[in-house]
Structure 1
Amino acid sequence: MHVSPDAVPTMAFDWGAIKWFVTPSAVPGAAATLGEVIVNPGKGHARHNHPDAEEVIYVISGEGRQTVGDGEEFTIREGDAVHIPAGVVHSTYNATWRSLRLIVTYTPGGAERALEAAPDLTLHDAGAVAEWRQA
C-alpha cells in the first residue's frame, strides 16, 4: 500500500507535528506504526513511556537531545537511530534553530493513539497545510 503525506492528517502540537503514515487503525493488516515527527526549534516533549510498545527513532535531519530511561542525556543527529524498549521513559528535545525531523516506529503499533488525548493537539485534515504562529 502506498501512502502519500497529503493523504494523512497532520497532528500539530505546541512542540511540533506528526504525520502517521502506517498505523494498525488506518492500514489493513498493519501490525506496526510508522510516522514522521517534526520537533520545532527550542521545543520538545515531556518524559513519557509507551507501556506496551517499543519505539525506534531515526533522525532524518537536525540535532536534538535524547533521554532513554535513567541514562545520561545524549545528542542525536542526522543518521542516528535510538531504540527505546517498551515501558522505558524517554524524551526528545530540539535545542537548535533548525527543525528536528525524525522517523518514528512503534512495535506493536497503536501507541500513537495516546496522542489523541493531548490537550494541545490540533488535527489538520489530510491535504491541509498547518499554519504555524509564534506565540
Structure 2
Amino acid sequence: MSGKFVLAKDTPQEANDWGKLQWISNPPTTGAGQITVISVTLAPGKGHDFHKHPDQEEVIHVVAGSVEQWVDREKKILGPGDSAFIPADMVHASFNVGSGEARIVAILGPCIGTIGYEVVDVSGEAPWAGLRG
C-alpha cells in the first residue's frame, strides 16, 4: 500500500438530516485497513443520535463549536480541542448545543466492511430514547 493525499476539494460531502460528513480515510477513499476517519459537521440543534459500533473503537475530536457528547450514560459538553474515547460496542451520541455549526473528526478502527464503518442505531430503544429528556 502506498500513501495518499486527500484534498478537501476532491472529497464529496454527504448530507444527512443532522449535518454533513466527508470520508477522509476509509477503504474506498485511501485503501485503509485499520482506521476510518470522518470529518463531520453538525447543524445547530442537531446531532448523531444514540448508536454504537460493535467491533470498532472510536475517538471523537471536537474541532469547532460546542458538542454535548454522550459516552454510555455520561455526558459532557466538549469544545475545540476536547476529545472522547468510545470503546467498541459502547453506546454514544453527539449533539450540537451551540448556535453555529459544530465540527468534529471521528476516528474509528479497525475498518469494518466495504466502507470501513459499521453502525447500529439504538436511539429508539430504552434507555436511550428518553435519556436527553
Q: Which structure has greater strand proportion?
A: 2
- Residue deviations 1:89-121, cap 9 Å, x none? 000111111111011111112353659xxxxxx
3-state secondary structure, aligned to 1:98: coil
Of 89-98 and 22-31, deviating more is 22-31
Alignment-derived partner of residue 94 in structure 2:
92
Q: CA contact under 8 A between 2:53 and 2:118: conserved in structure 1?
A: no
1:30 shift after superposition: 3.7
CA–CA distance in structure 1, aligned partners of residues 40 and 7 of structure 2: 15
- Residue deviations 1:13-57, cap 9 Å, x none? 011000011002321244211121000101112200000101101
Q: Does 1:53 align with 2:56?
A: yes
- C-alpha change, 1:25 and 1:114, in structure 2 (3 Å) is farther
Q: Does 1:109 align with 2:111?
A: yes
Paired residues, what number? 114
Q: CA contact under 8 A between 1:24 and 1:31: conserved in structure 2?
A: no
Q: Does 1:64 align with 2:67?
A: yes
Alignment-derived partner of residue 19 in structure 1:
22
1:59 shift after superposition: 0.7
For structure 1, list consecutive stretches of 5 or more residues without a partner in the other structure.
116-135
Q: If the length of structure 1 is used for normalisation, what is the TM-score?
A: 0.78
Q: If the length of structure 2 is used for normalisation, what is the TM-score?
A: 0.79
Over the residues paired in the alignment, what is the CA RMSD in angstroms?
A: 1.7
CA–CA distance in structure 2, aligned partners of residues 29 and 95 of structure 1: 33
- C-alpha change, 1:93 and 1:29, in structure 2 (3 Å) is closer
3-state secondary structure, aligned to 2:40: strand
Q: Does 1:3 align with 2:6?
A: yes
For structure 2, list consecutive stretches of 5 or more residues without a partner in the other structure.
121-133
Q: CA contact under 8 A between 1:11 and 1:19: conserved in structure 2?
A: yes
3-state secondary structure, aligned to 1:6: helix
Q: CA contact under 8 A between 1:59 and 1:79: conserved in structure 2?
A: yes
Regions of 4+ moved over 6 Å: none
- Percent sequence identity is 32
